[in-house]
Amino acid sequence: MTHEQDKAAYMGRITAALTHEMRNVLATMRESGGLLEDVLMMHKEDFPRREIFEKSLGRIGTQAKRGMDICAALSRLAHSPDTPVATLNAAEWLDYFVFICSRFARLKEISLAHGMTPAGISFSTDPVQFQMVLFHVMDALFGVLPAASSVTLTGEAAGSGLTVRFNVSGGPLPQPDSSPELALAQSLLAGAGGFLRSDSSVGQIETFFAS
């Protein structure tokens, strides 16, 4: 194991452990909120300030669910370095990727979504590098797209590999020769037998991951 691999493994193990502990905290919050909701239902006719309690418990439940979703994403991220090559379900990983990029999209006021990717598509790749390539492409798009533009990701089987397309509406497309982020994504793909194309005529960036 190289020094860099050892650092990644350490960060992954610690993040996974802390994520597990946070899940326990959120589970306790959710269970306690559920218990209070039961008490509220038992005294629904004579419970003072009932509406305030109902709204507060609703917010607790919503945020606990959101916290569990964040923990699930952190756990996936933490375990990404576990194996240098893994078989990934394309639809699940694109859902996950859109989720972890959602905050960046909100800050830029850009609509980010995962379009149709058949559920049965699987391919083998380096999970960390897969995420890095997608993130470098999104980072390049975040740098040039105006507010109210949109990006929709779709996945499609390509032989034993995977093609991921970034379908862009409402703004310009960056090019590898003028965008350091896109050039880095292109370099990572080329080193693993893949490629990247940016086609302004159709508003699409295409990435191919060899398997």
In this predicted structure, what is the pLDDT of residue 42? 86
Helix boundaries (H) for 80-179: 90-100, 102-108, 127-144
* Cα torsion 85, 96, 185, 1: sign: negative
Chain segment 83-128, per-residue pLDDT in tens: 899 999 999 999 999 999 999 999 999 999 999 888 889 999 999 9
Average confidence (pLDDT) over 198-206: 96
In this predicted structure, what is the pLDDT of residue 1? 65
Distance of CA 163 to the CA centre of its chain: 17
Is pLDDT at 189 greater than 90 in this prediction?
A: yes
Distance of CA 117 to the CA centre of its chain: 15
Burial annotation 148-157 (CB, 10 A radius, 16+ → b, else e): ebbbbbbbeb
Chain segment 32-85, per-residue pLDDT in tens: 999 988 888 888 777 888 888 889 999 999 999 999 999 999 999 999 988 899
CATH classification number, 86-209, choose in 3.20.20.80, 3.30.565.10, 3.40.50.720, 3.40.50.10710: 3.30.565.10
Q: At 12, list the tokens.
A: 């992954």
Q: Are 206 and 168 in contact (CB under 8 A)?
A: no
Rounded CA-CA distance 149/105 in Å is 10
Chain segment 132-164, per-residue pLDDT in tens: 999 999 999 999 999 999 999 999 999 999 999
